[in-house]
Amino acid sequence: MSEESRNPVYVERMSVLFRMQHMLLIISLLVLAVTGFALMYHENRLAQALISLEGGVLYRGIIHRVAAVFLMAQLVYHAFYMLFSREGKRELNEVWLSRRDFDDFLQAMRYNLRMGNEYPRFGKYGYKEKFQYWGATTGVFLISVTGVILWAETFSMRFLPKFVLDLTLIIHGYQGLLIFVVLLFWHLYIVHLHPSVFPMNMAWLTGKVDAEWLREEHPLEYEKLKGEGIL
Amino acid sequence: MNPLRSFLFTVLLAAAGAGLAATADAGPTVTDCLDCHGDATIEKSFPDGKTLSLFVDEKEFRQSVHGKGTCMSCHPDAKAPHGKLGAVTCGKCHPDAEKSYSQSTHGLVHAKGVQDVPGCDDCHGRHDIRKAQDPKGRTFRLNVVEACLTCHEDKVIEERYGLPDQKVMAAYRESVHGRAQKKSGLLGAAVCPDCHGNHMILPGDQPRSATHRQNIPTLCGKCHSGILEEYERSVHGKGMRAGIAESPVCTDCHGEHSITKITDPESKVYVKNIPRTCTACHGNEAIATRYALPKKRFSTYMDSFHGVALEYGMTTVANCASCHGFHGILPSSDPASSVSKANLPKTCGKCHPNAGANFAKGYVHVEVTPQKAMGVFVVRVFYTIFIGTLVILFVLHIGMDLLGRRRRGEPKTGGTKE
């Protein structure tokens, strides 16, 4: 973006409620990752230091489960909000996966490799954002289910054989790693390191983005807002 | 000896000799001998300036086990006046003891002419010998340890003969046996001769020794007979009786001189130390291979919730012994084993009341291999490949996306700025 004199116009991209959910998600996921990986890699020196810092295995577990309750409560709240609120329904509609996202992805790849001439035009959420959203949501769902089974171990033991619990544990751990990797590589890239937003897309704090950025990265959304007279 | 005393000594001897002659051939009585030897100052001096007390405490002698005998019983050549007497031979009356002693490590060294090895008198005393049952006796249960430690805590002797060092001896004092003996005065507490024998002491590496590996269970079983019975039925006990040298005996898990209560954090069988104690053999590749034992016992346990919790000090979690038992350990293939398929629900149920028959399906703490833990193995491989591939794709995508952005920046369609 050149430094020409123009008055940047900002439009809302994340409402207050979503920013709050996002903030809670950051905190709970970080706590869960720190306490969870400390246990998963307990033979590692750093992990051992973390467990000690967390007050031993007993308190590590308690902290982990408290954070898990926050995360799961959020998941449930989010599901209801997306399904039944006016804003949620609109957002769900925007983020819903369609055949078009796959086509967009292929088109983007072709363009990047100079095999096509048009870069896809994205709506409010392009395939990158949708991949992030659905990946994290299914991940959190899976890790919640396995987590609850492990938490309610006394109850689970009545119905589930030991090897199923072993499986649950290993899925829980690797699922955590998967979510972590997706967040680290994907999220870091699309909202921090991507040249259009570097060092950071401020929307998670201010809720707003530059209309110019929207026009470049999400032209369909830009046009839609123009059409609605918001811009 | 000053001249005056020397003179008196001679006079007294002469007087005693005269007295003896008067009482015919019976030889000198104890009283006769004590005429001289009852003098607390009587001593013999050597050219090098050293002196040897020749005093005999009458009271001690009269109370000793030999107190009713005469001096001549042990000193047949003690006829006044006399010079240096011949060596006392206890074996004349105690042939069994002498025979055992002569075969012991003490006796064998003694026979070679080594002087600072204990003979009879070093442990039993001389004129004050009392029965082992007599609380004042040197070899009484509560006193005998000190008798042994006279030499075995002597650094010079330890070094000269390559004996176990002071740490071993000090460990006994702090052990459950040592404390029971010393602090509580318990007559049942094991003292040195209970394990090592008395006259017939041999080093533990000799098959005839009471403390040789193969004799250990029987030895400990002298007092701990209920546990011996349990041990004999266990896989370790049977292995040991079958002559398998690696099969653990009591001392392998409990230690020897240093045996402490299982509640002592220093004990090898303290809850937190049990996994490492078992691992000494079960983590040994050679032993595990030779006897076809399941491998990776330690790491698979330490990776479990139980292992991690134990590592961080939660002593209520299951350790090896909680499930496998201890003295009566049986292989899981034995129906009587606490970890046999049929008994697992009961064993797990000790802590997890809800763990039913269903729970016991599958294996517990096994290596993650397709044979033993197919599910976990597949999930692990899947996630490793999946996450690995994902990372590679992410990086590729980021690279391509950056290429695309440069292209979008090129002035071509005029749709973008710059």
Give the separation between CA A93 and CA B345, rounded to whole angstroms.
51
Q: How many other CB atoms are found less than 10 A from the CB of residue B197?
A: 16
Helices (H), B341-373: 344-349
Arithmetic mean of pLDDT, A68-72 = 96
Residue A2: pLDDT above 70?
A: no
Arithmetic mean of pLDDT, B368-386 = 90
Residue A190: pLDDT above 70?
A: yes
Which of helix, strand or coil describes residue B310? Answer: helix
pLDDT in tens, B301-315: 998 889 999 988 898
| Interface contact A113-B390, CB threshold 8 A | no
What is the residue type of B159? E
Provide the pLDDT for residue B85.
86
pLDDT band at B21 (very low <50, low <70, confident <90, very high): very low
Provide the pLDDT for residue B23.
47
Q: Does any CB of chain B come closer than 8 Å to the CB of residue A177?
A: yes
More confident residue, B12 or B271: B271
**Residue A161 is nearest to which of B354, B362, B376, comparing CB atoms?**
B362
Residue B87 is encoded by which pair of tokens? 């060596």
Provide the pLDDT for residue B365.
83
Provide the pLDDT for residue A6.
67
Residue A128: pLDDT above 70?
A: yes
pLDDT exceeding 70 applies to what percent of chain B?
92
Give the separation between CA A155 and CA A152, rounded to whole angstroms.
5
| Interface contact B403-A113, CB threshold 8 A | yes
A43 contacts in chain B (CB < 8 Å): 302-303
Residue B302 is encoded by which pair of tokens? 């330490």
Helices (H), B88-163: 95-103, 105-111, 120-124, 144-152, 155-161
Give the separation between CA B159 and CA B157, rounded to whole angstroms.
5
Arithmetic mean of pLDDT, B99-111 = 92
Q: Which residues have a Cβ under 8 Å from the Cβ of B132 and sit 6 or more positions away?
A: B139, B140, B141, B144
Cα of A229 to nearest chain B Cα, Å: 22
pLDDT in tens, A191-226: 888 888 888 888 899 999 999 889 989 999 999 999
The terminus-to-terminus CA distance of chain A in angstroms comes to 19
Residue B416: pLDDT above 80?
A: no
Give the separation between CA A132 and CA A194, rounded to whole angstroms.
15
Residue B24: pLDDT above 50?
A: no
| Interface contact A166-B376, CB threshold 8 A | yes
**Domain coordinates in residue numbering, chain B:** 1-88, 117-206, 368-402
Residue B408: pLDDT above 90?
A: no
pLDDT in tens, A72-87: 999 999 999 999 999 9
Q: What is the DSSP letter of B223?
A: T
For chains A and B, what is the number of CB pairs under 8 angstroms?
116
ipTM of the complex: 0.89
Residue B277 is encoded by which pair of tokens? 């104690």
Which of helix, strand or coil describes residue A12? Answer: strand
Provide the pLDDT for residue B162.
85
Provide the pLDDT for residue A104.
94
Residue B42: pLDDT above 90?
A: no
CB-based contact B333:B326 (threshold 8 Å): no
CB-based contact B138:B127 (threshold 8 Å): no
Arithmetic mean of pLDDT, B271-300 = 91
pLDDT band at B415 (very low <50, low <70, confident <90, very high): very low
Sign of the dihedral through C-alpha B282, B288, B294, B296: positive
Q: At CA B278, angle to CA B274 and CA B282, rounded to 5?
A: 155
Arithmetic mean of pLDDT, B105-132 = 90
CB-based contact A214:A11 (threshold 8 Å): yes
pLDDT in tens, B152-209: 888 888 888 888 888 888 889 999 999 999 999 999 999 999 999 999 999 988 989 9
B53: β partners: B43
Mean pLDDT of chain A: 91
Provide the pLDDT for residue B417.
37
Q: Which residues have a Cβ under 8 Å from the Cβ of B274 and sit 6 or more positions away?
A: B319, B320, B321
Provide the pLDDT for residue B418.
32
Alpha carbon distances (Å) from B245 to B64, B232, B253, B256, B269: 46, 15, 15, 18, 21
pLDDT band at B4 (very low <50, low <70, confident <90, very high): low
Provide the pLDDT for residue B161.
87
| Distance, C-alpha A104 to centroid of its chain | 20
Among A183-187, B257-261, B382-386, the range of highest mean pLDDT: B382-386
Give the separation between CA B105 and CA B204, rounded to whole angstroms.
11
Q: Which residues have a Cβ under 8 Å from the Cβ of B255 and sit 6 or more positions away?
A: B267, B268
Q: Does any CB of chain B come closer than 8 Å to the CB of residue A198?
A: no
Provide the pLDDT for residue B328.
95
- Which pairing describes strands A208-210 and A10-12: parallel, antiparallel, or unpaired? antiparallel
Residue B260 is encoded by which pair of tokens? 């402490």
Which residue ranges form the domains of chain A, and what is each CATH number?
10-227 (1.20.950.20)
Cα of B202 to nearest chain A Cα, Å: 45
Cα of A174 to nearest chain B Cα, Å: 6
Q: How many other CB atoms are found less than 10 A from the CB of residue B190?
A: 22
Residue A100: pLDDT above 60?
A: yes
CB-based contact B398:A190 (threshold 8 Å): no
Provide the pLDDT for residue B13.
56
